[in-house]
């Protein structure tokens, strides 16, 4: 553009309509003719690269709009990730994962694929189209903060845009119980940190499918630096959750799935029966043991029989001939029999309590 005696200002507006203040050029004074000036917006390795979408450029002369135009910034996609997690058992945790990767080289070809996969074991890989096995190298990298597992897949030569491979592995971490062994509630967490991706500068479209164990019920899905509003939940014998997200560059993200495993809870019900150790601690447990059929405990029966037998024996003694006669007509013999019967019940109940307390065996340590 050629102008004469003008004060030019370029304003860049991001897709949200906000003035992009990271790069606002100063006003340019043009006092000769022709006056030519070139303005540009640097995108690579700047915050503008993360603001994908439709941008607007306004050219102003002392606040008067001379020219306006729009342009788009699209993310450079170097790979697409499709994760398939199959949780077959909650505890001990058994989970298998398949990672399908579609590579999109940026003016180059790939000869290998590499990324950190925390807790990966029994790692294999194959070409998706031909099922040809690919060579895999697993390297344990120990740092001051954590132990990392670097998985490198040799693609067997330079591969072009659209090449698809599958990395298959078992997971040894990320699945744990929430409220101890008694509740049957579990959480399955997956984190995708910046250091795990060898290309941290480009966003990555990722799709997740998580299949829970048989007899499970989904409770909640929690995102780490992300909100999963497009959850697709599938019910059935083995419920599943599916969602898709765009993982931003240079940002940590992840998710946590909380669920209840009723099949595991039923199969491990013996773990939740509290059995105290023998000794003094066992006697309170024995006192509170319920009596079959009757809504009573051994402790209440023992106390009632002891008190009633004392009353009856005292009454029978007061009616003895050695005491002064009274006008009460009570068969002392029947009174004494009833008292002795209650004493017998008390002795049996007390003996049963002692036997239960002494026979308690603690569960082995887990």
Neighbouring residues of 176: CB distance < 8 A, sequence distance ≥ 6: 93, 186, 187
d(CA 197, CA 112) in angstroms, rounded, equals 14
Cβ atoms of 86 and 96 closer than 8 Å: yes
CA angle 176, 99, 171 (to 5 degrees): 25
Higher pLDDT, 145 or 124: 124
CA angle 25, 30, 32 (to 5 degrees): 155
Q: How distant, in Å, are the alpha carbons of 274, 352, 355, 363 from that of 359?
A: 14, 10, 6, 13
- Residue 292's pLDDT is 56
Q: Coil, strand, or helix at residue 183?
A: coil
The dihedral through the CA atoms of 150, 223, 45, 202 has a sign that is positive
Neighbouring residues of 279: CB distance < 8 A, sequence distance ≥ 6: none
pLDDT digits (tens, 9 = 90+) for 168-210: 999 988 888 887 656 688 999 998 888 888 777 788 899 999 9
Q: Both tokens of residue 306?
A: 């002891």
Cβ atoms of 95 and 83 closer than 8 Å: no
Indicate the burial class of 138 (C-beta count within 10 angstroms; 0-12, 13-18, 19 or more): middle
Q: Coil, strand, or helix at residue 345?
A: helix
- Whole-prediction pTM value? 0.61
Cβ atoms of 339 and 312 closer than 8 Å: yes
- Residue 281's pLDDT is 46
Q: Long-range pairs for 60-69 at CB < 8 Å and ≥24 separation?
A: 60/8, 60/9, 60/10, 60/11, 61/3, 61/6, 61/7, 61/8, 61/9, 62/6, 62/7, 66/8, 67/1
Q: Both tokens of residue 281?
A: 């601690």
Neighbouring residues of 91: CB distance < 8 A, sequence distance ≥ 6: 177, 181, 186, 264, 268
Lowest mean pLDDT among 4-13, 70-79, 189-198, 324-333: 324-333
pLDDT digits (tens, 9 = 90+) for 238-261: 999 999 888 877 788 889 999 988
Across-strand partners of 84?
A: 98, 209
d(CA 9, CA 39) in angstroms, rounded, equals 10
pLDDT digits (tens, 9 = 90+) for 105-123: 876 778 999 999 888 899 9
Q: Both tokens of residue 100?
A: 């399908």
Backbone angles phi, psi at 57, to 5 degrees: -115, 125
Question: 295: pLDDT confidence band, cut at 50, 70 and 90?
Answer: low
- Residue 293's pLDDT is 47
Q: What is the CA radius of gyration of the chain?
A: 39
* pLDDT of residue 54 exceeding 50: yes
Cβ atoms of 251 and 208 closer than 8 Å: no
């Amino acid at each position: 553009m050629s102008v004469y005696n003008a004060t030019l200002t370029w304003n860049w507006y991001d897709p949200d309509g906000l003035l992009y203040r990271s790069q606002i050029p100063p006003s340019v004074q043009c006092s000769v003719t022709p006056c030519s000036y070139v303005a540009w917006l640097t995108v690579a390795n700047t915050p503008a690269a993360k603001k994908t979408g439709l941008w607007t450029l306004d050219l102003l002369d002392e606040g008067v709009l001379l020219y306006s135009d729009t342009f788009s910034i699209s993310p450079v996609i170097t790979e697409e990730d499709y994760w398939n997690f199959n949780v077959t058992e909650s505890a001990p945790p058994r989970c298998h994962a398949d990672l399908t990767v579609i590579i999109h080289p940026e003016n180059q070809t790939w000869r290998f694929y590499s990324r950190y996969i925390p807790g990966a074991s029994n790692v294999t890989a194959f070409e998706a189209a031909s099922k040809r096995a690919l060579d895999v190298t697993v390297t344990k990298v120990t740092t001051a903060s954590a132990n990392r597992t670097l998985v490198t897949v040799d693609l067997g030569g330079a591969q072009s845009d659209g090449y698809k491979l599958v990395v298959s592995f078992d997971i040894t971490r990320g699945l744990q119980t929430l409220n101890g062994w008694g509740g049957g509630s579990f959480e399955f967490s997956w984190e995708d940190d910046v250091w795990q991706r060898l290309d941290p500068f480009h966003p990555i479209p990722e799709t997740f499918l998580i299949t829970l164990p048989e007899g499970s019920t989904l409770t909640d899905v929690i995102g780490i630096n992300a909100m999963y509003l497009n959850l697709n939940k599938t019910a059935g014998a083995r419920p599943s959750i599916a969602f898709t997200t765009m993982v931003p560059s240079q940002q940590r993200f992840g998710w946590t799935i909380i669920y209840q495993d009723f099949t595991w809870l039923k199969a491990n019900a013996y773990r939740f029966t509290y059995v105290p150790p023998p000794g003094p601690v066992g006697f309170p447990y024995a006192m509170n043991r319920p009596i079959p059929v009757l809504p009573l405990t051994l402790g209440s029966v023992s106390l009632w029989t002891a008190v009633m037998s004392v009353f009856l024996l005292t009454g029978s003694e007061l009616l003895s001939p050695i005491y002064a006669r009274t006008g009460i007509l009570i068969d002392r013999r029947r009174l004494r029999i009833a008292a002795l019967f209650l004493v017998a019940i008390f002795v049996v109940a007390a003996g049963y309590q002692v036997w239960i307390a002494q026979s308690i065996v603690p569960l082995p340590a887990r």
